[in-house]
Amino acid sequence: MKEMLLALVSNKVADYLEIRVEESTISSLRFRGPVLEAVNSSMQHGGCIRALVNGGWGFITFNDLNNLEEKVARAIHQAQLVGAAGGNGRLAPVPVVQDVVQVPFLEDPRQVKLADKVELFRGYNEIILSHGKQIVSSSINYFDKYSKIHFANSEGTYILQHKLDLAGGVTAIASDGSTTQMGRTGFGSSTDFGVARNLEEKVQQACGRAINLLAAPSVRGGEYTVIVDPELAGIFAHEAFGHLSESDFVYENPNLQAVMKLGTKFGGEFLNIFDTGLEIGARGYLKYDDEGVATEKTHLIKDGILVGRLHTRETAAKLGERPTGNARALDYTFAPICRMRNTCIGQGEASFEDMLKGVKLGVYTKGSYGGETNGEMFTFSADEGYMIRDGQLAELVRDVNLTGNVFTTLGNIDMIGKDFMPHESPGGCGKGGQVPLPTSEWAPHMRIQNVLIGGK
Amino acid sequence: MQDLIAKAKQQAQQAELYQITVTETPVRYENNKLKGIDASSRQINALRIVKDGKLGFATSTGDNLQPLLDMALATTQFGRDWDLPLPGPAALPQVQLTHPSTVLDTDTLVEMGEKLVRRLGQCHPDLLASADVSTRQATTKLINSQGFAGEYSKSIFSILGGAELTEGKNFLSLYAGYFSGKLEDQLEKTIESLVSNYEHGRTNVPVKSGKYTVIFTPQGLGDIINPLLECANGLAVEKGFSPWKDKLGEKLFAEEISLFDDATISFAPASCLFDGEGIPAQRTAIIEKGIINSFILNMVTAKALGLKSTGNGFRSKNGELSAPGNSNVVLEIAGTQPLEQLLGSVKQGIIIDSLMGAWAGNPYSGQVNGNIALGFLVEDGRIKGRVKDCMVSVNVFEAFRHQIEGASAEKEWAWNMLAPHLKLSDISISAKG
């Protein structure tokens, strides 16, 4: 494969040419209530070719791996058309790499019999369904995807990466006839089926949360001091700052470059945000990105100051910065674009008790359904919230959806916890139609002043 | 395809093969310039078999059909019980799915993208426009061991336009677009929508927390309609978490409201001749004059509920069958008035064109909370400017019972939904300060 692919992309009339060939096997299962609704097995194979000619890009994707020469010619032709219209694409230099990457397995899900996987999840399902009459149903999803991805480019790089992504979610659904509430737990890994095991206690807790939410009132809308748990703080890092750090948003927008000038102060000196591909086991773990660039730990905010951003080879070239290994493609049907890996808020010094102290009226928010951003504003919803009154945790509230302005909110973070915690969840990040891309978000507890919460 | 069915029949009682081939040529403009020309072609195969009353399922890509049977057989030991006959031959509805106007060469797509970014560039020198213009041809085939053999081709023209203006720390992000089986004036309408939202969104105006009359544009309505679609979904009904599970025939909403799922509208984005299981396309009234009339069902949820499939067994991108899905969604409100009049009658209110994060709630509670990503303040019937840094909070179940104040006679497609502008009273807005 190596020689064939390298020969295919060499000596062509293009400034740059790359090919990716992917073979994946996916197995998945799904419980809904007592029924094992689906056990699916899937094989995917295909490839894509990307060409750069006179600054213009051509991209072609296919299942059929025959006639690759013809496909190369077509990608080049498309790139020529764009180049002739005045393309300005270019790439920052990176080292030429030849490597084969294996998955550093702890427990390989392919070695676990399908019957054993089914029994494991059936066990969780039974915990939920036997919990009591307020639990009316359950929902369990699990998948593992094992991929072999060949990458070759006209600069002589050839990488074969074996990758694993596995994740799942276990949800308890409670109802009292008029309202339905959910409690959930999730897991994910790039190396270990073991993360799906021993979740009994977490599943029990999810049942309790669903039931408790039935009787909880909706939070009242308004501005609050908010303490976010590590899971939500991670989502915050991803939504409120990670996306804005993706340079494809910045690289051709001079006004935004002025706002995002390296060296600008964004928060208190205790605020550190970074994005890393190096954490083995995280869903955002990645040795090389989909341009064949080695990943790294990229500091975005250090001691409150903007120090870096996430790059593809193209955005790095345009901004005169260094590629960071953030060019990722969901699969062979997409070209790589600038994406996050594992986005983290660095550990602070505060204890949870320190954060509660002095909060007259606030909300402690836990767990997340997910969030969204448009660069300037972000939102995310919490699984549950507890009111904070006079420095004490008080009643449970639901329907907690937080929003804020990225720039002011970063400055409103006044405490960061010393309890930095890895956290993996199912789902993934969406951008440009490429969803769900596996990412991770790790963080400690965090306190933010003046957060707007929606509600009546 | 027939070979595989014949082979499967030797080892299983029923078999079905679904195949979709798609070719697409998108042209992409980014930051006011032609960025790339793409081409994609893919084929998805999905085999479903029933062996000893158990379901088996497998998918593959390209012409890789051979392993499917073994893969599917391996899953039958865990498969769910299945005692339904797959559908046999059926009369399919007359729905037009292809139109010559959507067959466009690359030069034409480039010209359209160029026209969009040029026009938007005239709005402001710092505005960055983007456009994705594409044509897509898909052929869907479905055959099964009960004698169903169907095939249809469908072509879709799509345009997605965007505009970003960054001034200091103030971002104005706009998007608009259409999917359609027939090329009409979608380019012009996309441009018009972006330009008009740009003009109205140039000035920010302050907004205070309180209750407001709110007009949701068809684009802004998606998140509001979603809880209704989730509650009507056969899976949520079957599993008992839809609050509508025992409410068929009950009047839960105002008389003015009807909501349809309709796969039979010619040239509409989600129309088809049959669903992913071979059930003919149909129009289903979910809500008729405020009454819950039907759920949205595929074969398995219909069977569990003792009902008939509504032809909503659609496939995912990978060919999988999971929950029932919607085709085209049509919202009808009785007693409409021209948009100008609807807007003109607002003394103080807010127009909401897009929400952010509103999908991340619990649809079965009817509660929708979202950041107003693009919204405008209206005073005495006139748009005063953009409202920002605020959230809207609506309980859709209550709002559709007694907060509807009117709707526009004009209807618009917003992706796969055809809807009017909808005016609701007493909607909570939370703002900073």
Provide the domain count of chain A. 2
Inter-chain touch A181–B390, beta carbons under 8 Å: no
Enumerate residues 6+ apart whose C-beta is below 8 A from B165: B124, B126, B127, B128, B171, B172, B198
**Average pLDDT rounded to a whole number, residues A1-26:** 97
Both A235 and A90 in one domain: the answer is no
Contact A300, A241 (CB under 8 A): yes
The ipTM value here is 0.93
DSSP bridge partners of B122: none
| B213 token code pair | 């009359």
Q: Are residues A201 and A238 in the same domain?
A: no
A62 close to B (CB below 8 A): yes
Check whether residue A185 and residue A257 sit in a common domain: no
Half-sphere exposure of B164 (CA within 13 A, CB side): 20
**Distance between CA atoms of B425 and B210, rounded to whole angstroms?**
12
Q: Could you say which of A46, A175, A374 has the minimum Cβ distance to residue B42?
A: A46
Whether residue A188 is found in the same domain as residue A289:
no
Cβ contact A114–B78 (<8 Å): yes
CA–CA distance, B327 with B9 (Å, rounded to integer): 31
Q: Is A116 at the interface with chain B, CB within 8 A?
A: no
DSSP 8-state symbol, B308: -
Contact B375, B387 (CB under 8 A): yes
Beta strands in B52-148 (DSSP E): 54-61, 128-144
List of chain B residues whose C-beta atoms are within 8 Å of the C-beta of residue A456: 393, 428
Helix then strand then coil, % of chain B, to nearest 5: 20, 45, 35
Mean of pLDDT values over A156-176: 97
Q: Beta partners for A155?
A: none
Cis peptide bond prior to A95, omega within 30° of 0: no
**Per-residue pLDDT tens over the stretch A374-394:** 889 999 889 999 999 999 999
Residues A251 and A164 in one domain: no
Residues A41-64: tens digit of each pLDDT = 999 999 999 999 999 999 999 999
A416: β partners = A446
Q: How far is A229 from chain B (nearest CA, A)?
A: 18
CA distance B45 to chain A (A): 10
Q: Are residues A227 and A140 in the same domain?
A: no
Residues in chain B: 433
Residue A1 has pLDDT above 70, yes or no: yes
Q: Taking the model in full, what pTM does it have?
A: 0.95
| A276 and A186 both lie in a single domain | no
Closest approach of chain B CAs to the CA of A63, in angstroms?
A: 5
Query: Does domain B2-200 correspond to CATH entry 3.40.190.10?
Result: no
Inform me whether the pLDDT recorded for A369 exceeds 80.
no
CATH of the domain at A79: 3.30.2290.10
What is the chain A residue with the closest CA to B245?
A177
Domain final residue, candidates A197, A215, A233:
A215
Hey, how many other C-beta atoms are within 10 angstroms of the C-beta on B168?
10
Query: Are A78 and A65 contacting, i.e. CB atoms less than 8 angstroms apart?
Result: no
Does residue A166 sit in the same domain as residue A264? Answer: no
Task: With H, G, I as helix, E, B as strand and everything else as coil, classify residue B169.
Answer: coil
Going from N- to C-terminal start, the domains of chain B cover 2-200, 205-433
Q: Which residues of B touch A20 (CB under 8 A)?
A: none
B173 closest CB neighbour out of A42, A180, A375: A375
Last residue of a domain, one of A181, A215, A249: A215
* Structural domain that includes position A264: 222-453
**In this predicted structure, what is the pLDDT of residue A370?**
80
Question: For residues A439 and A270, what is the distance between their CA atoms, to the nearest angstrom?
Answer: 24
Are residues A262 and A185 part of one domain? no
Spell out which residues of chain B touch residue A46, defining contact as CB-CB under 8 Å: 42, 61-62
Is residue B147 within 8 A of residue B153, CB to CB? The reply is no
Is residue A129 within 8 angstroms of chain B, CB to CB? no
pLDDT at B433: 67
Size of the A and B interface in Cβ pairs below 8 Å: 263
pLDDT value for A456: 77
**A136 and B80 in contact by Cβ < 8 A?**
no
Sort strands A273-276 and A297-302 into parallel, antiparallel or unpaired: antiparallel
The CA-to-CA distance between both ends of chain A, in Å, stands at 61
Amino acid at A230: P
- How many other CB atoms sit within 10 Å of the CB of residue B199? 11
CA B194 from chain center: how many Å? 20
pLDDT digits (tens, 9 = 90+) for A66-122: 999 999 999 999 999 999 998 899 999 999 999 999 999 999 999 999 999 999 999
CB of A82 within 8 Å of any CB in chain B? Answer: yes
Averaged pLDDT of chain A: 96
Nearest to B235 among A32, A255, A376 (CB): A32
What average pLDDT score do residues A325-338 get?
98
Which of A159, A188, A215 is a domain's end point? A215
Q: Is B74 on the interface with A (CB under 8 A)?
A: yes
Alpha-carbon distance of A263 to A271, in angstroms, equals 14
Spatial distance between the Cα atoms of B408 and B215, rounded to a whole number of angstroms = 10
d(C-alpha A266, C-alpha B169), whole Å? 12
User: What DSSP line would sit under A256-272, residue for residue?
Assistant: HHHHT-TT-B-S-TT--
Q: How far is CA B403 from CA A371, A412, B212, B410, in A?
A: 28, 37, 11, 20
| Spans of chain B below 50 pLDDT | none
CA A380 → CA A198, A377, B358, B391, distances in Å? 29, 11, 9, 12
Read off the DSSP letter of residue B274. Answer: B
8 A C-beta contact, residue A5 and residue A21? yes
Residue of chain B whose Cα is closest to the Cα of A59: B38
Q: What are the chain B neighbours of A64 within 8 Å (beta carbons)?
A: 41, 43, 62-63
| Cβ contacts of B58 on chain A, cutoff 8 Å | 40-43
CA angle B307, B310, B311 (to 5 degrees): 135
